[in-house]
Amino acid sequence: MEANLEQSALEGVGPAFDPQQLMAVRDKTRQAIALIAAAMRPGMLEEDAVELAKDILAERGMLRGWHDVYVRFGRNTLKTFGAASDPGVRLGDDDIFFIDIGPVWKQWEGDGGDSFVTGADPEMARCAADARAIFHEVRRKWASEGCSGRELYRFAEDCAAGRGWALNLDLSGHRLADFPHAAIHEGPLAEVDFTPARMLWVLEIHIRHPSRPFGAFFEDMLLEDACFEE
């Protein structure tokens, strides 16, 4: 009974909750990430890339973000959520970068992140691809087995290690809702001891190379296979 009460409290929604609107904002978020990624060019300063990302989001009607806009280049892809980037980092010809945005459209939150590469560094390309692959491995375990958030991130650690990466557990999922989700719950998905409901939680995967100074990031809602085009 206590677990059920805890889940009911942590998965509460506000008066504006609307599944259709949340999914529409998810689509807008993924589209914005693709537009921002397409605008990135080798030689660009990370600080300029962040401003460009903000302009793209504003053009698409973002009223505000529930978190800062992050575009991380090169060694800054090792930074965890909220940490300041090292200044003056430029995107290289053979480099990796990720985008992490949390836009709010009207009353509904979006959240998404993805990693991209320039050039042909095989380890960077594998890192970006593996962040997505691990996300889907973990998501499918949730869909097929009904695992708790805590179990999902134990599995994510194993998935990352099996591919030769270290998982950053400082980025370990969270609630999403009609704005602001923090009024309901701010804690990580990795500490949840029940099966998280679809659409209400974001699964985050941030991996790091074991010796080279870069990582990769991917995040999206916990949803079934039909909501993804791989």
* CB-count exposure of residue 134 (10 Å: 0-12, 13-18, 19+): buried
Greater model confidence, 99 or 177: 99
* Average per-residue pLDDT for the chain: 92
pTM, to two decimals: 0.94
pLDDT range class, residue 178, cuts 50, 70, 90:
confident
Answer whether residue 2 shows pLDDT above 80.
no
With b for 16 or more beta-carbon neighbours within 10 A and e for fewer, the 207-223 pattern comes to: bbbeeeebbbbbbbbbb
Provide the β-strand partners of residue 73. 97
Q: Is 89 helix (H, G, I), strand (E, B) or coil?
A: coil
User: Average of pLDDT values for 197-218?
Assistant: 97
Give residue 185's pLDDT. Answer: 72
**Of the candidate ranges 48-57, 136-145, 183-192, 200-209, the one whose mean pLDDT is the lowest:** 183-192
**Residue 59 belongs to what H/E stretch?**
helix 46-59
Domains of the chain, residue spans: 2-227
pLDDT range class, residue 105, cuts 50, 70, 90:
confident
CA–CA–CA angle 230, 122, 45 (5° rounding): 90
The hierarchical CATH code for the domain 2-227 is: 3.90.230.10
**Nearest residue to 176 via CA among 3, 45, 21:** 21
